[in-house]
Amino acid sequence: MQLARDGEIRGLPPLMTFQSILDSTVSTRAVVNALYRYLPDNGSQLVIFDINQAANLRALFRPALYSAVNDLLPAAPRPYATTVITNASPTTYDVVARITPADQTNEVTRPLHLAWPQDMYSLSHIAVPFPLTDSLYGREPTEKNLYGISLGIISLRGETASLTVGLDTLMRYLNRFLI
């Protein structure tokens, strides 16, 4: 904010940020309100991964999650481009990219020819960098248990207080679906 007030932020190169709408580690609201809000019109782009709007766990979601992306972003036009990865409709797992270029109000929807896994309702903050075939985090590891365990394929069910790592930590979805 200080850089924006002093005008020094004008020299900042374009940023491209990938952010999940649900992130317990990095505040998505802070990324938009404390960073992108102050960026100059320099070609920056914010990519937001929505929740799986078609998840069969929908009845368990907080109602505010259905519109979280729309509630988060300021009205267009914005000095940065936005791409929202979300379901093509609430009844399909197929995903699309909803793209709003910088300084524009019209949104373009592009099919991605990808789909959410049916057992996944959101991405964690580290979801994007790992391929499906990653031996540790991938859903379909090339070599299972290369590191002693393949976290991406485990499905934890059992009694509480038996694991050395908290179940809530392991349940944060680490698997990838876009790479």
pLDDT tens digits, residue range 119-146?
777 876 665 567 888 888 787 888 988 8
For residue 44, what are the domain limits? Answer: 2-117
**Band of residue 175 on the pLDDT scale cut at 50, 70, 90:** very low
Are residues 50 and 109 both part of a single domain?
yes
Whether 81 and 144 share a structural domain:
no
Question: What does DSSP assign to residue 31?
Answer: I
44 and 103 fall within a common domain: yes
Q: Quick one: which H or E segment has residue 79?
A: none
- Mark whether 100 and 133 lie in a shared domain: no
The C-alpha atoms of residue 129 and residue 125 are separated, in whole angstroms, by: 10
Q: In terms of domains, do 141 and 103 share one?
A: no
- Same-domain pairing of 103 and 162: no
Between 58 and 17, where is the model more confident? Answer: 17
Could you say which of 117, 147, 162 is where a domain stops?
117
Residue appearing with tokens 């990219």? 97
Does 49 lie in the same domain as 111?
yes
Which are the contacts of 56, defined by CB distance < 8 A and separation ≥ 6? 118
| Average pLDDT over all residues of the chain | 82
- What is the pLDDT at residue 134? 85
Do residues 45 and 90 both lie within one domain?
yes
Domain count, the chain: 2
pLDDT average, residue stretch 151-177:
59
156 or 68, which is more confident?
A: 68
